[in-house]
Amino acid sequence: MQVLHSIAELRAALAGQTGTALVPTMGNLHAGHVSLVELARQHGQPVVASIFVNPMQFGAGEDFERYPRTLDADCAKLKAAGCDLVFAPDVAEMYPVPQTFTVQPSASLTQDLDGAFRPGHFSGVATVVLKLFNLVQPRVAVFGKKDYQQLLVIRELVRQFNLPIEIVAGDTLREPDGLAMSSRNGYLDPSERMQAVRLHAELAAIQAAVQSGERDFSGLTATACRHLKMAGWRVDYVELRDVENLQLPVSESRHLVVLGAAWLGKTRLIDNLAFDLFVQD
C-alpha cells in the first residue's frame, strides 16, 4: 500500500487508471470506515482512501484543532482492509492559495437540519470533495449513510456537474448497543458513553411508531426532543423527512428518514434511520 502526501505523487500513481474507487475520510478511522473500504473493493480498483481534516467544513468554535490525527494507526487499518493507496495531504497541499472559488450547494438540501446549525459546512464539504474528485478521477466513490444529508449533497454535486462517478452508499455500522460508530465517540467519557445510545433509541422509537400507523410526526419528534432534554442532552434537531430529498413528508411519501443531532456534554452526535412507510389498507 502506498502512502502519498503530494498531488503530484498522487497523479503519477494513478496515471492511466480508469476503475478507481475513492473513499474520502478525515482519518481517526473505525470499523465503519473499514467497511467502506471493503465496499469500495467490490466496485473498483485500485482503492484510494483520502485522509484529510478539511478546515473549510469546520465552523468557528468547532473541533478542527482537536480532531484526532492518527495517521499511522489509520494506515495500518487501511492496509489490512485491502486499500491500495492512501492520499494524506496537509492543508497547504490542498489549499495552496486561498479557496475563493467554492461550491455552494442548493439551499433546498442545506438550509435546515445540519445546514442550519453548521453554516457553511456543506459548502466546505462539497468544495473539498469536488477537489478530491478532480485529483483522483474515480469511477466510484463511497460515502457512509450516517452523514445522510452530506450523502445527498454529494449525489446532487455529481448530478449537477455531470461527473462520471457512481456514488455508492455504505450502511451505518453500530456498536452492540446501537450507537452509530463515529470518530467523535472517542470524546465521550464513560458515563456519557453509556448515555450515548439514547439518541438511536429515540429515533428507533419514532420509526416503530410510524410503521405502526402513527401519523402525528411533529408530536413524535417533539416527544423525542423532550426525552433527550430531560436526560441532559442539548438537542439541535430531531426530524422526519422524505428519504429522497429531505423535504417534509407529503401524502405521497413512502420512504422516510428520521434524523437527529444532539449534544452530550461537549460532543455532538448525529444519527439517522431510513425506513419504508407502511400504508394501512
In angstroms, rounded to a whole number, what is the distance separating the alpha carbons of residues 281 and 274? 22
Collect contacts of 213-221 with beta carbons under 8 A, ≥24 apart. 213/278, 213/280, 217/249, 221/258
In angstroms, rounded to a whole number, what is the distance separating the alpha carbons of residues 130 and 134? 6
Three-state SS at 227: helix
Element at 193 (helix H, strand E): helix 190-195
Residue recorded with cell 485491502 = 82
Q: Which of 5, 30, 33, 200 is catalytic?
A: 33
Q: Is-catalytic flag, 200?
A: no
Dihedral of CA atoms 110, 261, 242, 42 in degrees, nearest 10, equals 90
Identify the CA nearest to 7 among candidates 69, 79, 129, 96.
Answer: 96
**Which residues are CB-contacts of 229 (< 8 A; sequence separation ≥ 6)?**
235
The residues annotated as belonging to the active site are 33
